[in-house]
Amino acid sequence: MIDLRSDTMTRPTAEMRDVMHDAAVGDDVYGEDPTVNALEAYAADLLGKEAGMFVSSGTQSNLCGILAHCQRGDEYLVGQLAHTYKWEGGGAAVLGSVQPQPVEMQADGTMDLAVLASYIKPQPSLNHFAHSKLLALENTHDGKVLPHGYVEQAQQLARTHGLALHLDGARLFNAAVADGVAPRAIAAGFDTVSICLSKGLGAPVGSVLVGSQDLVHAARRWRKVLGGGMRQAGVIAAGGLYALKHNIDRLADDHRRAAELAAGLAEIPGIEINGQATNMVFLTIGEPTRGSSARDWAGFRQAMADQGVQLRGGPHLRLVTHLDVDDAAIVAVIAAFSTTLDS
Ligand SMILES: *Cc1c(COP(=O)(O)O)cnc(C)c1O
């Protein structure tokens, strides 16, 4: 099955399973798991930060980051469509009494910085306002790489207002590879950065939060409070470390394949390509020109699945390329769309 629903669908390879099998382990809550320690140090160095913390998911990583920056009654400013606002169950509010201040986003994944500035609460505020403490950005967002100049201006604005900076870099390495820069260049200027090991990098589980010693120390306490202190976690950390060492440069293949997929699908009548960036293709499928009945999306997905292609959504689809989607798969996916839409 060619699974295009997400780059989370990657399976650990035989080589990755081997290093997981052989991983040296200890009790990580005691700080004694050598493989977790190695992963944290490696990720911190790669991203130009002092320290790292291995966590079970990107959601937990972002939450620990936000809670390290913000106290009860504080707020973080965040894009309206950002994962840390929209897709994490309201965790900062639910578990930290930290108010999100969502900010409208533009089509390119950026926020208008004048609009952003207008949401920062004046302090002191006669006790009216939450305390604006943190700006959270996301790179990539829907596959789109944030323009470098925009990131610098947003960071400058945050600093001017005394805000700390967090980056949700679930797909940071896609941004680095697309821009042809080192990962630490994408992470530069942020106090904390969260990366996912279990997306395009191909590890089965895990994220790493990196930042200063002090911030990671604070985040580590929140990880324990959240029930995220793991014991012999080296078994899974080994997969993450392997992913960081072997699977970053190859993200360029995913980007090339996404571009080829978009180009191939654009030729098929009834498909409108809405955009392609890094490893994601967004498209809309029109209604059938023959017959009178509207398209049945469950039926459409089943017809695609019968040809070995797993999808999510309809009529708007997001297709994501990753480690388990090779060149032959791209050809097969284009053929499957063509056959299904023609029938
Ligand atoms: C996947 C993702 C996360 C983290 O998701 P988990 O499923 O909790 O690991 C965070 N931010 C973005 C932008 C993501 O795509």
DSSP string covering 113-177:
HHHHHHHSPPSS-TT-S-EEEEEEEESSBTTBPPPHHHHHHHHHHHHHTT-EEEEEETTHHHHHH
User: In terms of domains, do 193 and 286 share one?
Assistant: no
* Among 63, 83, 139, 279, residue to substitute to test ligand 1 (most atoms within 8 Å of Cβ): 83
pLDDT in tens, 116-168: 999 999 987 778 999 999 999 999 999 999 999 999 999 999 999 999 999 99
What does the pLDDT read at residue 292?
62
How far apart are the CA of 325 and the centre of ligand 1, in A? 20
Domains held by the chain: number: 2
pLDDT in tens, 241-250: 999 999 999 9
Domain ends where: 246, 264, 297?
A: 246
* Among 167, 168, 226, residue to substitute to test ligand 1 (most atoms within 8 Å of Cβ): 168
CA distances for 98 relative to 94, 95, 134, angstroms:
8, 8, 10
Whichever domain contains 239, its CATH number is 3.40.640.10
User: In terms of domains, do 111 and 23 share one?
Assistant: yes
Q: Name the pTM for this structure.
A: 0.97
Q: Which two tokens stand for residue 340?
A: 């299904």
Domain ends where: 246, 278, 300?
A: 246
Whichever domain contains 280, its CATH number is 3.90.1150.10
Average pLDDT score, the chain? 96
Tell me which residue range forms the domain holding 274: 251-342
How far apart are the CA of 66 and the centre of ligand 1, in A? 14
User: In terms of domains, do 306 and 172 share one?
Assistant: no
Domain ends where: 223, 246, 269?
A: 246
Taking CB atoms and a 6 Å cutoff, what residues make up the pocket around ligand 1?
57-59, 83, 138, 168, 170, 196, 207
Average pLDDT for residues 304-316, to the nearest whole number? 96
Residues 183, 98: Cα–Cα separation, whole Å: 29
- Residue whose Cα lies nearest atom 2 of ligand 1: it is 170
Residues 324, 262: Cα–Cα separation, whole Å: 18
Sign (positive/negative) of CA torsion 205, 211, 213, 214? Answer: negative
User: In terms of domains, do 175 and 304 share one?
Assistant: no
How far apart are the CA of 121 and the centre of ligand 1, in A? 28
pLDDT in tens, 87-107: 999 999 999 999 999 999 999
- φ/ψ of 330, rounded to 5, equals -60, -45
Residues 292, 26: Cα–Cα separation, whole Å: 64
Which ligand 1 atom minimizes the distance to the CA of 141? 13
User: In terms of domains, do 220 and 331 share one?
Assistant: no
Sign (positive/negative) of CA torsion 194, 199, 202, 203? Answer: positive
User: In terms of domains, do 6 and 66 share one?
Assistant: yes
User: In terms of domains, do 193 and 123 share one?
Assistant: yes
Residues 311, 320: Cα–Cα separation, whole Å: 10
Q: At what angle do helices 172-179 and 251-266 cross, to 10 degrees?
A: 80
- Residue whose Cα lies nearest atom 3 of ligand 1: it is 58
User: In terms of domains, do 156 and 81 share one?
Assistant: yes
* Amino acid letter for position 41: A
